[in-house]
Structure 1
C-alpha cells in the first residue's frame, strides 16, 4: 500500500511538532448510502453526489494528487460487498477506506444477524490488513421510521456486534446511531430511507471529524433549523405509503434488486476536482 503523505504541524498548546496524515488514495464501498442516493447532481457520475464525494472533495484540498474511487452500488448486501467490493478495494491500495454494509441484509424478511456480522468481521479484517485507515458505520436508529420501526432491535444487535469487531481490530467507527440531528426529517429524502442533500452534507462533516487524521481539517457541520418534532400529517403519510412503502414491500417480496444493471461510480482511482 502506498504511504499517506505526511506534513509537519505545530499542535496548539503542545509546543511540539507532530506528523499529520494527508490522504492521497480514498476508496468508498457499500450500498446506496455510500453511492449517494438522495443527493442528485447532474455533474456527478451516476447523477449522484453524496457524502463520500463531498469527503473526497474536501480531502483533495490538501493534496493536488489526491485520487478517489467509489465502488458502492444501491441494493448490495453483505455478501456482495465482501466478495466483490472489498477485494477490488484492496487492489487499489488505498490509504483511507470507508465501508457501510449490512443494512439491506437487516431489511430482509428473515436474516441471521450473527452470520452476517461474522462475514462482515472477515471483510473488515481484510480491509485492516491493507494498512489503510478504515472507517465503518453503525446503523442509524430506526425507531422514528414507521416502515422500519420493527427492525430497531436488529439494528441494535448489528451495532453491538460491529462495535466489538471494530474495537478488536482497532478500526474507526462513525457512530450513526448516536447522531441525534438525523432524527430531523430535513436530513432525509422523501422516501424516508436515504439522506437528503443536506443529510449527505451533514454526514460528510461527521465522517471527517470521526478520525484524528481527517478531523484536523474537518468541514463544519452545516447550520440548519430543526423541524418541529410533531409527526407528519395523515395526507403526507398516505402519500408516502403509496409512492414508496408499498412498492418497496412488493420489490422485497419479489426479491428484486434495486441496483441491477447499475455500475459503480468508479472502479478505479480518479482525480478529484
Structure 2
C-alpha cells in the first residue's frame, strides 16, 4: 500500500465500475463468472471487501462500448446506486474509429467525469496504454497521446485518482497481453488490480508476476504468429466494422446491480449461489 486510504471508513460502501472490455475483464477468462471473464475490477472489489467488510459492487462495463454508450446506458444507472467509488475507462474504442473527433470526444468525457465527481464519490480514471501491436496502428498513437494528456488534465481538475496506465513498464512484456494483443491477459488484469489498490491505499498481497526473460522468436515463428493474429483477430475486427456489429451487442452487464462481496470466496461464491438458485427455480 503506497498511500493513506482514499475510501470512507464508514457509511455507504458501493463500488461501481463503468466502461468497455478493459473494465468488463476481457482477456481474464473464467467460465464460473458472468460473461466468462473476471478482470481487474472484480479483483479490486474482492480486496475492498477483505479490507472493509460490507462493500457492494456493480460492474456495468460491456465490451466494444463507445463513450456515447457509456454516457447513455451506464452513467445514470451508476449515479442511482449512490457509489462511494467509481472507476471509469472510456474512449479507447472511439480512438480506434477513424472518424472520431478526439477533441470533441474529450469534451464529452469531461462532462461525464464532472457528473461522477459531483456526487462526492472517489473517481478513478485511467490513461490508455501505448499498445504496439502493429505498424498499421501507429497513426493512432498521436490520438492516444492527446487522449492521455486530456485525461491527466481532467483528473487533476476534478480531484480524481489517476492510474497512469501509459507509464506502467510491466506491460511492455507481451505475456501481460492476451492473444489479440489489445486486451490484458490474466496476469495483466491481476497486476492492474494491484496498481488500482495501491492508488486507493487499500492493502493487498498482489505481487507482480515473476517471469524469466521472454524467449526470442525466430523469424519463422514471428511470421507464423503474425499470420495467426491477422487471421484470428484483425480480419474479424474489420469484418465487424463493415457489418456494423460489435462483440458486446448481445451481452448484458456482468454485475448490473450492487452485490455484497463476501470476505471469503469472493465473487465466485456469489456467482455459484446465483446459479444454484436458478436451478432450484
TM-score by length of 2: 0.85
- 2:113 equivalent in structure 1: 124
Helix, strand or coil: the match of 1:224? coil
Residues 46 and 265 in structure 1, CA contact (< 8 A), matched pair in contact too:
yes
Which segments of 5 or more consecutive residues in structure 2 lack a partner in the other structure? 267-281
- 1:222 equivalent in structure 2: 208
Pair 1:194-2:180 in alignment: no
Which of 1 and 2 has higher RCO (CA within 8 Å, sep 6+)? 2
Answer 1 or 2: which has greater helix percent.
2
Pair 1:66-2:55 in alignment: yes
Helix, strand or coil: the match of 2:214? coil
TM-score by length of 1: 0.87
Query: What is the aligned counterpart of 1:51 among 30, 40, 54?
Result: 40
Structure 1 residue 154 displacement after superposition: 0.5
Helix, strand or coil: the match of 1:269? strand
Q: What CA deviation, in whole Å up to 9, does each residue of 1:69-114 have, x standing for no partner?
A: 0000001000011122111111101111110000000000211001
d(CA) in 1 for partners of 2:132 and 2:203? 33
Query: What is the aligned counterpart of 2:242 among 253, 261, 264?
Result: 253
RMSD: 2.2
Matches within 5 A, 1:95-244: 95-210=84-199, 214-225=200-211, 226-228=213-215, 233-244=222-233
User: Measured at CA, do residues 187 and 181 of structure 1 come closer, stay the same or move farther in structure 2, by a change above 3 Å?
Assistant: same
Q: Following TM superposition, where does structure 1 have runs of at least 4 consecutive aligned residues deviating by more than 6 angstroms?
A: 17-20, 229-232
d(CA) in 2 for partners of 1:162 and 1:250? 31
Which segments of 5 or more consecutive residues in structure 1 lack a partner in the other structure? 1-16
d(CA) in 1 for partners of 2:185 and 2:226? 18
Helix, strand or coil: the match of 2:255? coil
d(CA) in 2 for partners of 1:32 and 1:172? 21
218-227 vs 247-256, which deviates more? 218-227
How many corresponding residue pairs? 255
d(CA) in 2 for partners of 1:234 and 1:50? 30
Q: What CA deviation, in whole Å up to 9, does each residue of 1:10-29 have, x standing for no partner?
A: xxxxxxx9997448211101
d(CA) in 1 for partners of 2:230 and 2:81? 42
d(CA) in 2 for partners of 1:205 and 1:168? 25
User: Measured at CA, do residues 240 and 171 of structure 1 come closer, stay the same or move farther in structure 2, by a change above 3 Å?
Assistant: same
d(CA) in 2 for partners of 1:219 and 1:126? 33
d(CA) in 2 for partners of 1:251 and 1:195? 21
